[in-house]
Amino acid sequence: MKSVRFLALLVGVFLSAHAVGAVGATAVPEVAATTASKKKAGPITRIDPTFWWVGMKNPKLQLLVYGPGIGASKVSLKYDGVTLNGVQKLENPNYLLVNLTISPNTRPGKLPLEFQGERKIKYDYELRARSNKVGRVQGITSADFVYLLMPDRFANGDPKNDVVKGTLVNRVARDSMYARHGGDLLGIENHFDYLKELGVTAIWPTPIVENDMPKASYHGYALTDYYAVDPRYGTNEDYVNFVRNAHRNGLKVIHDVVLNHMGSKNYLFLDQPAKDWFHQWPTFTRSNYRDAAFNDPYVSQADRKQFGEGWFDTTMPDVNQSNPLVANYLIQNFLWWVEYTGLDGYRIDTYPYSDRRFLMDWGAAIQEQYPRLGMYGEAWVQGNGQQAYFARNILPPVDGFKSNLPGVTDFQSQYAITEAMTKDAGWTDGIAKLYYALQGDWMYENALRNVVFLDNHDMSRFFSVIGEDVPKLKMALSWLLTTRGIPQLYYGTEILMKNFSNPDGLVRADFPGGFPGDIQNKFVATGRSTAEQEVFALVSKLATYRKAHPALHSGRLMQFVPQEGVYTYFRYSDAGTVMVLMNSNKDAKTVDGGRFAERLNGFSSGVEVVSGAVVLDLKTLRIPGRTAWVVELK
């Protein structure tokens, strides 16, 4: 029964973590009724993509044109280098697809599209020149240290955009965890120096695209416009400048994207191009959240369908990516954001929930155009094998699926570090879990591309989970910044922010000092308590050291089977060797260094990186309880 209760709790946390908060929907809405076909074609409301570039590797471009009755129009154009390959009508007469081929030698400029129906409509579509600026699309590697933050909750740099006329949530209420609080892109920019002092090299904001939903719109995962920054964070050009300024400050930018679903207030759902653009059910059907259904050899097809086609939440329509028109729309959109902004990486939300054929096509298209782009997907799954299934691996294809995603969020090591800090050591329990989590790396093409973390915006804060034990947190942070992979820190961990995910809003509290009127300011050392400053200093010290020592961020790893609650591993390369010892016991332990002879050979002493203490005897190591030593060997 304990396992049943645990599973129920896990599902409950998962749902609360991802839900937008709306309840009560009982059926999936049908395609919106329209009488547009009986009217004259009206003005074009929009065209997606909003503009495009000359010189993309794929010369094909498909425009989704939206406007009253536009589907009845004939289209013509005359522009050197651009070929009209025909149009395609959709079930909804308010849409029309225009297929183009853009030759490599085409001049940038205004592409004159003419739509002829009962009236003539002219539309100048912009073709831009691609940017050749140095430093764009740098990618994300194991040399980076990622800082995850929620823009609405980090800092308010421009109070003028707190309330935007016409949005469904037109107020700020910082006393409500599900309301808008006013944070924005400028607020993040204003604290670039803080992030650099902490040793951060890459910023991962939760989605910055428009999320104009009536409830819990602050988190961004129910997008309502694929091509627009949420106006309460800034404009599209503000985001371009944000990325540019981040690069000038030595910071990379990771763009959080959602492939599986959208918000129910998205125009594409309110006036659906066709029924088959979304997964339709007779009554509202939620996903069963069982990713194992995708590769279970004994699976019920009903379970598999419900996992992949069920809705994530009542206000998150499930997108039908098996429809090639939908797939193309999504692929073009995520090529667009990279070219437009020069961002460095994609984090893909709810990665396992998408259509698997689509995932392969999407990944191939993005990586063909931007081979340096960093990409990792959320894989909140159970087991090393299941996690490896969703990343590039050495395993055979299953049902035709062979992931081309470079890396995933490493939940297996997150489960392990949590157990290491909350349970006593045993044969496979406690700190031994860390050993087994990494032992599974044999399945990956390159486990260095996986993102390791202690917690995130969907989970209880790690500091609360470990009973607000500062020594344990320091120990876990030392592991985070020395193990293999790309370390990710959730905002505020460095200043001991706490709380549990139920209710989940509490783990998304405002960063103290980021908002006008805040009594405390944790962005400066004088605003932090002694314990907060100690943890901040630890992160800064190790992150800065890690940045300068290739052995620690991209070197090889050798781990030794934990003994008596002590886990020891080495990071090493031609440039140097670092030994890490983690004592999970309350009391000090003496470790026989002779056991590590194959890595200690040739070294006689070391320096503990954080404290600066000299370790003169590597044969007998006396390690205090609840402590991690990071020792540079000499």
Q: Are 334 and 346 in contact (CB under 8 A)?
A: yes
Q: What crossing angle do the helices spanning 470-480 and 530-548 adopt, rounded to 10°? A: 10
Catalytic residue among 271, 309, 355, 378: 378
Give me the catalytic one of 349, 410, 441, 458: 349
* Cis before 68? omega within 30: no
Q: Which residues pair with 53 in a beta bridge?
A: 128
Nearest to 287 by CA among 340, 352, 226, 339: 352
Question: Residue 629 phi/psi, 5° resolution?
Answer: -105, 130
- Report which residue type is found at 608: E
CB 64 within 8 A of CB 48: yes
Sheet containing 606-608: order of strands: 556-563, 566-573, 576-583, 627-633, 606-608, 614-615
Yes or no: say if 281 and 28 are a contact pair by the CB < 8 Å rule. Answer: yes
Taking the CA atoms of the chain, what radius of gyration do you get in angstroms?
26
Catalytic site includes residue 378: yes
Q: State which amino acid sits at residue 22.
A: A
Assess contact for 485 and 447: CB atoms under 8 A: yes
Bridge partner list, 127: 52, 109
For 603, phi then psi, to 5°, come to -110, 140
Closest listed residue to residue 344, CA positions, set 248, 460, 247: 247
What is the DSSP pairing of strand 109-116 with strand 74-77? antiparallel
Is 608 one of the catalytic residues? no
- Determine if the peptide bond prior to 352 is cis (ω within 30°): no
CA–CA separation, 580 and 583 (whole Å): 10
- Burial status of residue 612 (CB atoms within 10 A of its CB: 0-12, 13-18, 19 or more): exposed
- Beta-carbon neighbour count of residue 564 at 10 Å? 11
DSSP string of 435-467? Answer: HHHHHGGGGBS-GGGSEEES--TTS--HHHHTT
Helix (H) or strand (E) holding 602: none
Contacts of 454 (CB under 8 A, 6+ apart): 414, 417, 418, 462, 476, 477, 480, 489, 490, 493
Per-residue three-class SS string for 75-92: EEECCCCEEEEEEEECCC
Q: With beta carbons less than 8 A apart as the criterion, state whether 230 and 220 touch.
A: yes
Q: Taking Cα atoms as reference points, which of 581, 576, 579, 570 lies closest to residue 549?
A: 576
Candidates 363, 357, 368; CA nearest to 331 is 363
User: Active-site positions?
Assistant: 349, 378
